[in-house]
Structure 1
Amino acid sequence: MIDQTRRGELEARLLARRNGKARADVLPHQPPHLPVPLSFSQERMWLYDRLEPNSSVSNLAFSFHLAGPLDTAALAEAVAEVQRRHAVLRTVHRVSTVDGVEGVAVQEPLPEPLPAPPVHDLSAAGDPLAAGRAWAREAAELPFALDTAPPFRWHLARLGADEHLLLLCAHHIAADGWSESVLNRELGALYDAFAAGRPSPLAPLPVQYRDYAAWQRARSTGPAFQSAVDEVAERLAGVPDTLALPFDRKPRADSGFGGGTLAHRLPADLVAAVAAFAKARSASPFMVLLAAFGTLLSRHSGQSDMVIGAPTAGRARTELEGLVGFFVNTLPLRVDLTGDPAFGELVARVRDGALDSYSREDVPFEQVVERLAPQRDPGRQRLVQVMFQLHNTPACPLALSGLTVTPEQVFTNSSALDLTLSLIDRGDELEGLWEYRGALFDVATVRRLQHCYEVLLRAAVTDPDSPVSRLPLLPADERHALLHTRNASEFPREAACVHELFAAQAAATPDAVAVSGDDAELSYRDLDLHANRIAHLLRRHGVGPDVPVGVLLDRSVQLLPALMGILKAGGAYLPIGTEAPAPRVRQLLDSARPPVCLVRPDLADTVRELGSEPIVLTPDLAAAAGEPDTPPDTGVTPEHLVAVFYTSGSTGAPKGVMCRHAGWANRMQWMQRAHGLRPGEAVLLKTPLTFGDSAVELLWPLLAGGRVALLEPGRHRDPRAIIEATLRHGAVHVQFVPGMLGLVLDTMTDDECAQISARVRTLLSSGEAISAELVRRFRDRFGDTVALDNTWGMTEASIDSSLHVCDGTDTAEGVPVPIGFPVDNCQTYVLDEHLEPVPVNVLGDIHVGGAGLARGYLRDPRRTADAFRPNPHRPGERLYATGDRGYVRADGQVVHVGRVDGQVKIRGARIEIGEVEAALHTHPDVDDGAVGVWEPSPGDRRLVAYAVPVAGAVLTPASVLDHLKRQLPSYSVPSTALLLEEFPRNPNGKLDRKQLPLPDESSARRAAYVAPRTPVEELVAGVWCQVLGVERVGAHDDFFALGGHSLLAIRAVVQIGSRVGTELAPNLMFDRTVLAQVADHVEAAVLADVSAMTDDDALAELASQPLLG
């Protein structure tokens, strides 16, 4: 299985361990009256209990249906004798002082078991067995009070004359899976003896669990032990601290451990195939199943390196085999999928890594975690968040003489880990139990994981030479739903050019107003006639199908005939900003090579000098006077170009998007079907012509019989001007980028809000992600009276490709607003690198297909080929790779997360900038937020949070970072926060990231030491120094950044509470990690205690508390 050198090393270790297991000496006995510190694994369970004192997350439950005459007295005495034999079952766990150290958890056995509980009579229930099972579930979830009561209890329910239900419950601090067999074996032997009047047949136990705990603690100080811990830690060096999973809800510090369990079966043929494959690869079925599980998690997380926990019995000595107790250890197994190995190669990697790990299975997991010191992630366990186990040795069954005993499965609705997969041998099949945290996962998500695991496992053992990234993952029905069902957007559309649809509308409503400004307007008839004349003029200058015509005109009544004239000439309009600097104009003209440009008078010389022929358009359109009034015959078709829009390129060179008539006609017809603009209703044209959204504001109303209402040139970034123009022109539809929408909401008066509510039907947000906070502010102002549309798209796909109509569900904190479903005759996909759909909730690359796609990039076949590819899911059609990242929600809507180039790697962790920004937007005092990357020195990449405060709010960089610490994994929290009065924006109002300021280099260094400033801060600092073993602690220092961990945090809380005489919440320093925050809470807690006292007692307490002086 492995090379000879490593084989020899492993054999030597295993022989040494076997010899140790067989040796005759016993563990040293501990005096029964002395408290003993907990074992390392017990300490972890105690920590869970302190943080979640009313949780059943660590409860174990074993239930049995008993049929036949039961001797209840014999059963009670048998259970009591088991408790007498195993002191761990009658032990309380308290905080004490050990060797002068306060806050240490210890175990102290009670002299005798608690009395037997009364029998619960359910015989009168309509269905006693069903009632008994419900009763057992409730009883199994009752929390244990570890500091005052034993961690074991039992219950008996009478279902009938000769029918009972027995429930044994233990806290994990006192028992593990192996203990079930010990309990069953001893309970059966004792019951049989006592029922027959015989004494106990069991030999005395050689040791107690507390002896083992003390031995383990003493052993941990030796050099050999520390060397073994170092070896395991080195094996895990560089692995990400946490595993990104397809959560339905993000982990939070207060997520809790409530959960559930889903069961499914792996069929016999698949189990046989796994066994055969494992044998052929000199591996065990466990290794093959783990490799497949790691592949499943990698495909759902995007991580190629991870740690998955696997339990091991932890009973390396013979005298421990017959004990009840928590011996099980967690092995952190590294699953490395870097380089996209074939599945067979991955199995070999997993095999070698597992053998290494099992040779060090006696190294306590808790010590490995402490050595690695992974960063804390709010609401998640450190290092291992996912567990995998294969049970192929059944527990010893409970057998009671004269009774038929049937095990009953009891699931507690809790889970300490995010996800655990337990595979249990059921003969030819494997039963899979998927235990999950309900705060993070929906049942449907876990069920999808089950199905994906089976599909992937079958494919892996069938085609082990396939790279793991190419293994099929989705069941056929789910794949079809993601590719086709959610993309069922086909809708009849008229195959025509944009100007043809306009001409038809002009013929239908010739006298209606087509465009209006503050001082002029044009009817449909006049606009059509002017456009025809301009078209003939352009034809004489060589304009025809696919020929671009530059446009350097202001937003005015004359702009619309100019644009429509270009289309009627067969050409494509090329918008060039009138305020664009000469180098930008030259760049576009050199790239597009338009033979002619329609220009403002003062720009004619500039255009001529740059090599294009200018045609000056004055307000009276005199340049086209005398041209024919009828449209020219051009032969243009819907596949010809309607416009060429230049967008920024990653290389710095702009890309000319060749937009087709067919795509834009489909886009405008969908817009009309979705929003139903009525004849004469106005749409505000406010977006600069160089941005794609302007085409919707221009063309949609002209094709639907509506009116284009013009915002005064240069006022598109003035929220006051936009509000006034909307009301003055009676616009019923206005579109914004989210940043401008926020400014408009802040600027409008209550009276203006009421007027807009009465007149405007739809406000549309596009161009950037809209936050839940902005949706909430919108709904606070407008309620349901005005619709808020969130659209997403790009120029390459006719501007917008999907729509989500926002509602009250989009205001939930921490939940991103989706971009919805595709528009008519378009498709949106979230795909992997092989253009296969990714599962629900899994990040992938967003692609667009369908009628809206542009032809490509002008004179740039390489970039066209890179971005526009054949659509493997709709033969004969194309896909556009948007460069955006996102995922599909369970309801089929897409959520946009950010850009592919917005994905950064910092300290080995892959981070989506968009996710960090979404968390930033949930801060109640942040009006707008952004996140950037800063590299103060080569290789030292850091995140920077930028925030604009809500008007009147008191926002500090510290509060921003503190908020993000509670929302995000530690590796995703920016190192610095900067507050800005406003964000730099481009002419369209979008955030200009290149203009965001960088922090001063001094802020890269640790903040200057600030000495404790109050008596309480001094007290807390003193405790921290003692617990952490450091010389000094400042008011702004973070406990965990100084090297603290969970157990030390609880120990510090105990010591602080002892010094101030107030009981503090154990999780105090998990919610507040900075010294000043902790001190503020301690002072508040003391004052709260004082306020609850009588006046005399309160005065006495204040007098004795110099801290509060």
Structure 2
Amino acid sequence: MEMNTQNNIESIYPLSPMQQGMLFHTLYAPDSGMYCTQWRCTINGKLNVSAFEQAWARVVDHHPVLRTLFIWEDSKKPLQVVRERVNLPWANLDWRERPTTCHQTSLSLVEPEESLETFLQADLEKGFELNQAPLMRCTLIQMADEIYEFIWTQHHLLIDGWSLPIILQEVFAFYDALNCGDDLHLKTPRSYRDYITWLQQQDLSKAERFWQQALEGFTAPTPFVVDKSFDSNSNQKQTYNQQQIKLSAEITAALQSFVKQHHLTLNILVQGAWALLLSRYSGEGDVVFGATVSGRPPVLLGVESMVGLFINTLPVRVQISEETELLSWLQQLQIQQVDREQYSYSPLVEIHRMSDLSWGMPLFESIVVFENYPTGASLWQQNSNLEIANIKTITRTNYPLAVVAVPDSQLSVQISYDSCRFDAATITRMLGHFQTILAGIAINPRQRLSELPLLTEPERHQLLVEWNDRQTVEYPHKLIPQLFEAQVEKNPDAVAVVFEDQQLTYRELNCRANKIAHHLQTLGVGTEVLVGIFLERSLLVAAVILGILKAGGAFVALDPTYPQERLAYMLNESQASVLLTQKQFVDRLPPSGAKVVYLDSISEANAQENEENLVSKTTSDRLAYVIFTSGSTGKPKGILMTHEGVISRVDRTQKVHNFTSNDRILQLGNISFDMFVWELFIPLLTGARIVIGHPQKTSDFDYLICLINREQVTIARFVPPMLQMLLEQKEFTTCKSIRRVITGGDKLTVNLMAAFMNNFSADLYNQYGPTERPSSITWRCQKSNKTSIPIGRPLPNTEVYILDKMGNLAPIGVVGELYIGGSGLALGYLNDPILTAQKFIQNPFNDQPSSRIYKTGDLVRYLPDGNLEFVGRIDNQVKIRGFRIELEEIEAVLSQHPELLEVVVILREDQPGNPRLVAYFVPQKGQVPTLDTLRNYLKEKLPDYMVPSAFVNLETIPLTPNGKVDRHTLPVPDASSLSQSISFVPPDNATQEILAAIWSEVLKLERVSIYDNFFELGGHSLLATQVFSRLRQAFSIELPLRSLFELPTIAELAKRIDSIHSIMKQLQANPLEMSNNREEVEL
């Protein structure tokens, strides 16, 4: 502001806290149109343009606040300055004769509304110079005879929504008087300065106690979950859009009746509905959002007719217990609102300081505005012969999402949103959910919160029907041996399995299996008799498994590399009556009650054994195998899978991949791992060939590449880490025979997918499925701009449901737990009916009593295109290198070590793509166990993949306020070698000294280290503006306000300033380079 025109200054006074916040956000994003308000309408009738313009000028003269500007650069605190006289910027545009143009792609004309929207967008983005009054402008566009579009744009720093009708009433009052030749004199309004004075008299100490108690324990803003990832420090321009719905007159009337009957307000219903929506979206029972309050203190006489910015935005914290009765919950919200409004004068920046949130976190990212002031056009259409229509108001805030509710005969709800954070389709769904909750509230005041619906009917149909395969296919008369024998009959001389320099045809494999089956039956093996297999991958394994199934039994896979204690538990738990092995493994066998049969001994003795197919008496619903996986009790759990489960898996996989007898499928899975089952039965039941990788050479990539090329492998399954390592081998690109690679068991990254697709023309599939219902979901990878790889869509004959904690369907984009159904579910867990009942439950979305779904414990969400995205585990179960691991099992085993007091195990990924298990322990008093001791202790009891790669000795395990282990604060391994605190480091150059002096002055500190964080020292957005005012004077450079947020230490900021000075000196020395290098100078 030019201060030399002193005679044009009427008043100078401080800003309200709300004004300070708006000023900061406007300066932070000066080109965004932030906090610009655009009010527009259509005027029909014979408008006296001159009188209309004069009427607006009279209103500006009448209200000092409309003649206000703001200064902040040469002042310790920002100030508002009222001019005595201003000229209102006014533009009259005539679009009546504006030519229309045709779209190149159609014959339709460009509508005037399209041009108007372009104008409105540009007008809003134009913003204002805050140090020049008035901060408002008017545009009158004549669209046709007696049809005008009027646009009034002003900065929100001046007035709030309550002030709008007051100003508009006065405009039309002056307009009517001018048309009649009258000289209208309105009563002098009370000055906005009186409100500022009242604010300064309020006692913040009482407010501080209230807000500290209200926000105690709230440490992170409520996440949206459905928003897109967005880097706030990026140069991506933020754009804002709006969507609006109107509730039907019937629903609106029902809500008004509801609040009247129960002595509530419609505002409380709107806030309650938004709290429920945030809770359902985030999965949290404790949410916070902002609510705008009128801020007009009743003690201030005449405040209801004052013009200015009185509103304030306060945090609303809501606790949601889904079992709570709706009415009592709403009544409690209303009580809390009354309590809050006693402290509605509290500055938001101070409330944030009183909370437990760290400096960089917002208290909330959404606000709810309930416009409970009169807005109807009838208020200002007094005696004029004009018709006012199409009234619209747009205000851009600094919040990513703002909900504006306007009561009328049809309740209107508008959402203004940052389109960098939200897709239009997401907001459309959000409005639908909001409307569904509001409509549900009016139905029954005594219902529980969990009973309130969220999904619209179209979305519910989409989730249950369109994106789900609910046509369950049964396989009542098929068994695994029968399907295999059908392939034998079809192609008896085709090679079935290859291992090193050995191979078996389908006929030969069938004969061997039959011999084993007949022998097993002589040992008492029949329907569902469990037979242990203690073997490595070899040519023999396929014949052994088929032989067990042909005899009617079920196999239990036991890995010879497992510790004896684990093997002994698995044998004892399964009560296997027979154990098939080879003499080379005799030293690794744990003692058990099973009859041990050495296959290398019986092969010669039983040379004349019957080779004919057996007639099985078992059925498809009977047990085929038991696979043990990690269990949360510290002991592995056995999963029971039937013949039908295997056949269903083969069938749904085949419908996607269509394997043929020409395919050669690589087998690398450990025999006790679910991947092995896929690699065994998929080829044998479809006529393909199994190519077995040597069990001792699977980590030898030269061997694998040679094997793939020699055997012309066409199909391979790799866990992502192995695929990553193979891609690092140049020779892997020579494997041209591969037509399809299937990944699973671990997270497939975007970079890994891109690396594969850049080197191979083969298809890449990302597959998902727990051992309890494997091969359930898949996605064919394709080049895209996705930031994460989806796990895909359900395979045929698969039902999937994403449910929240209360068992309700989660909306698209919202994280929930994945439940899987369809034919082929495991029977349950061996000898554990309680766990089986917990994990395999009745399907609430299927009328058939026998329909079950499996509770996976995996957190996923639907993407808008119907694909599923994996988010994480609901418990401590993780996957690493394809192995599913219960962290609690490792903790349970390690806790048994006599020298340890407490143990916590987590999965860390401090380097992207390199997950690892880390164990944290507190030793017993006086004990100092070595890391080798702990590692060897676990190796005796757990498989190698379950042994942590790092062990960290702690004095205490960190806990959250509610006493749970705070896993997020566990240190990075070897962090003890780093300094735990930053000591004082003084400035070491002139720039740093100036910055340190500025920070000390603004923050009122005696000294500041060059590595101290401005915000952690108590700095906030308003103090940041003071820092930059001083920087401008000290260094004569213009830095954007966001620089302090990006560079919050003196060391970082000084480096940027010195860099800019250096570049400026170079440009001054060589002006010819200025134009060429201009874009390289980043402030």
Q: Same fold (TM over 0.5)?
A: yes
Please tell me whether residue 752 in structure 1 is matched to residue 726 in structure 2: no
Deviation string for 1:985-1021 (max 9, x for gaps)?
Answer: 9999978668575646858984232615642444434
2:324 is paired with a residue whose SS is coil
User: 1:737 & 1:1087 partners in 2: Cα distance?
Assistant: 51
Find 1:226's aligned residue among 177, 185, 205: 205
Residue 463 to residue 1059, structure 1, CA distance change in 2 (3 Å): same
Determine the structure 1 residue equivalent to 2:310: 327
Q: Does the CA contact (< 8 Å) of 1:68 and 1:404 recur in 2?
A: yes
Partner of 1:615, secondary structure, is strand
Aligned to 1:883: 857
1:534 aligns with 2:509: no
SS of the equivalent of 1:741 reads helix
For residues 658-684 of structure 1, what are the alpha-carbon distances to aligned partners after superposition, in whole Å with 9 as ceiling and x for unaligned?
111111111112222322223232111
C-alpha separation between the residues in 2 aligned to 1:1072 and 1:231?
34
Q: CA deviation at 1:777?
A: 2.9
Aligned to 1:736: 718
Partner of 1:279, secondary structure, is helix
Distance 1:559 1:594 in 2: 17
**SS state at 2:152 partner:** strand
Residues 1:1008 and 2:973 are matched in the alignment: no
Aligned to 2:960: none
**Kept after mapping to 2: 8 A contact 1:607/1:613:** no
Asked if the contact 1:762–1:787 (Cα under 8 Å) also holds between the matched residues in 2, the reply is yes
Preserved contact between residue 665 and residue 690 of structure 2 (Cα < 8 Å): yes
TM-score w.r.t. the length of structure 2 is 0.85
1:843-862 equivalences under 5 Å are: 843-862=815-834
1:486 and 2:462 correspond: no
The reply on whether 1:114 has 2:87 as its aligned counterpart is yes
**What's 1:446 paired with?**
427
Is the partner of 2:909 in helix, strand or coil? strand
Give the drift of 1:348: 1.8
Q: Cα deviation per residue 1:579-604 (whole Å; 9 max; x = unaligned)?
A: 11211110110000111111121223
Measured at CA, do residues 113 and 720 of structure 1 come closer, stay the same or move farther in structure 2, by a change above 3 Å? farther
1:1025 aligns with 2:1004: no
User: Hey, what's the Cα distance between the residues in 2 that align with 1:890 and 1:789?
Assistant: 20
Corresponding residue for 1:18? none
Establish whether residue 665 from structure 1 lines up as the match of residue 647 from structure 2. yes
Aligned residues: 991
Distance 2:184 2:561 in 1: 98
One of 157, 161, 164 as aligned partner of 1:177 = 161
Name the SS for the 1:731 alignment partner: coil
Root mean square deviation of aligned Cα: 3.5
1:774 maps to 2:774: no
Partner residue of 2:789? 817
TM-superposed CA distance for 1:79, in Å, is 2.1
Aligned mate of 1:1045, from 1020, 1023, 1038: 1020
Q: Distance in 2 between matches of 1:198 and 1:559?
A: 105
In the other structure, the counterpart of 1:7 is none
**CA–CA distance in structure 2, aligned partners of residues 68 and 725 of structure 1:** 86
- Write the letter of the residue equivalent to 1:259: Y
> Which of 869, 872, 877 is the aligned partner of 2:844?
872
Match of 2:1047 among 1050, 1062, 1072: 1072
**Percent sequence identity over matched residues?**
27
Q: Is the Cα–Cα contact under 8 Å of residues 332 and 384 in structure 1 kept in the other structure?
A: no
- Is 1:896 aligned to 2:870, yes or no? yes
- Aligned-pair distance for 1:129? 6.5
1:120–1:158 Cα contact (<8 Å) kept: yes
User: Closer, same or farther in 2 for the Cα pair 1:667/1:403, shift >3 Å?
Assistant: same
Task: Name the counterpart of 2:437.
Answer: 456
Report deviation, 1:138: 4.2
Q: 1:244 aligns with which of 223, 248, 251?
A: 223
Partner residue in 2 for 1:151: 135
Going from structure 1 to structure 2, the CA distance change for 1:280 and 1:58 (only over 3 Å counts) comes to: same
Find the aligned partners of 1:1091 and 1:945 in 2 and give their Cα distance. Answer: 47
Choose which of 41, 57, 61 in structure 2 pairs with 1:80: 57
- Residue 630 (str. 1) matches residue 602 (str. 2): no
SS at match of 2:19: helix
Amino acid at match of 1:71: N
Residues 1:770 and 1:489: Cα distance change in structure 2 (over 3 Å): farther
Q: Which residue does the alignment assign to 2:341?
A: 358
Query: Given that residues 884 and 896 in structure 1 are in contact (C-alpha distance below 8 angstroms), is that contact kept between their aligned partners in structure 2?
Result: yes
In structure 2, stretches of 5+ residues that fail to align are 1-6, 101-110, 882-890, 916-937, 953-971, 1075-1083
Q: 1:652 aligns with which of 627, 630, 634?
A: 634
Contact map agreement 1:685 1:697 (CA 8 A) in 2: yes
**Change in CA separation of 1:132 and 1:890 when aligned onto 2, cut-off 3 Å:** closer
Q: 1-side partners of 2:441 and 2:459: how far apart?
A: 19
Q: Distance in 1 between matches of 2:905 and 2:1053?
A: 27
Q: Does 1:89 align with 2:66?
A: yes
Structure 2 CA distance, aligned partners of 1:535 and 1:352?
75
1:236-275 matched pairs, under 5 angstroms: 236-253=215-232, 254=234, 257-275=238-256
Q: 1:168 aligns with which of 152, 155, 161?
A: 152
Q: Does 1:787 align with 2:759?
A: no
1:282 and 2:263 aligned: yes
Distance 1:1072 1:638 in 2: 66
Separation in structure 2 between the aligned mates of residue 988 and residue 727 of structure 1, nearest angstrom: 31
2:399 is matched with 417
Q: Is the 8 A contact 1:415 1:437 kept in 2?
A: no
Describe the shift of the 1:987–1:587 C-alpha distance in structure 2 as closer, same or farther (beyond 3 A). closer
Q: Distance in 1 between matches of 2:1028 and 2:455?
A: 48
- 1:787-819 residue CA offsets vs partner (Å, 9 max, x unmatched): 22111111111x22100112122x53xx33211
2:41–2:392 contact (8 Å) kept in structure 1: no
Shift of 1:839: 1.2
SS of residue matched to 2:715: strand
Q: Is the 8 A contact 2:349 2:1020 kept in 1?
A: no
**Alpha-carbon spacing, 1:944–1:560, altered in 2? closer, same or farther (3 Å):** closer
Q: In structure 1, what is the equivalent of residue 1081 of structure 2?
A: none
Q: Do the aligned partners of residues 562 and 304 (structure 1) sit closer, same or farther apart at CA in structure 2, a change above 3 Å counting?
A: same
Distance 1:174 1:306 in 2: 31
Q: Is the 8 A contact 1:261 1:435 kept in 2?
A: yes
Show the 5 A alignment for 1:493-508. 496-508=478-490
8 A contact 1:41–1:366 mirrored in 2: no
**Residue 979 of structure 1 aligns with which residue?**
none
What does 1:646-725 align with in structure 2 at a 5 Å threshold? 646-725=628-707
| One-letter amino acid of the counterpart of residue 193, structure 1 | A
Give the aligned partner of residue 962 of structure 1. none
CA distance in 1, matches of 2:750, 2:133: 46
Q: Could you tell me how far apart the structure 2 residues matched to 1:31 and 1:313 are?
A: 32
1:980 aligned partner: none
The residue type equivalent to 1:171 in the other structure is: H
Structure 1 residue 574 displacement after superposition: 1.0
Following the alignment from structure 2 to structure 1, what is the Cα–Cα distance between the partners of residues 998 and 697?
Answer: 60
- The equivalent residue for 1:570 is 552
- Return 989-998 or 193-202, whichever deviates more: 989-998
Rate the CA distance shift 1:850–1:162 in 2: closer, same or farther, 3 A. Answer: closer
- Could you give the per-residue CA deviations for residues 183-219 of structure 1, whole angstroms, max 9, x where no partner exists? 2122122223334444441233342x35644x26743
1:946 aligns with 2:927: no
Judge conservation of contact 1:548–1:592 (CA < 8 Å) in 2: yes
Contact in 2 for aligned 1:1035/1:1076 (Cα 8 Å)? yes
Measured in 1, the distance between the counterparts of 2:947 and 2:863 equals 29
Q: Shift in Å at residue 128 of structure 1?
A: 5.3
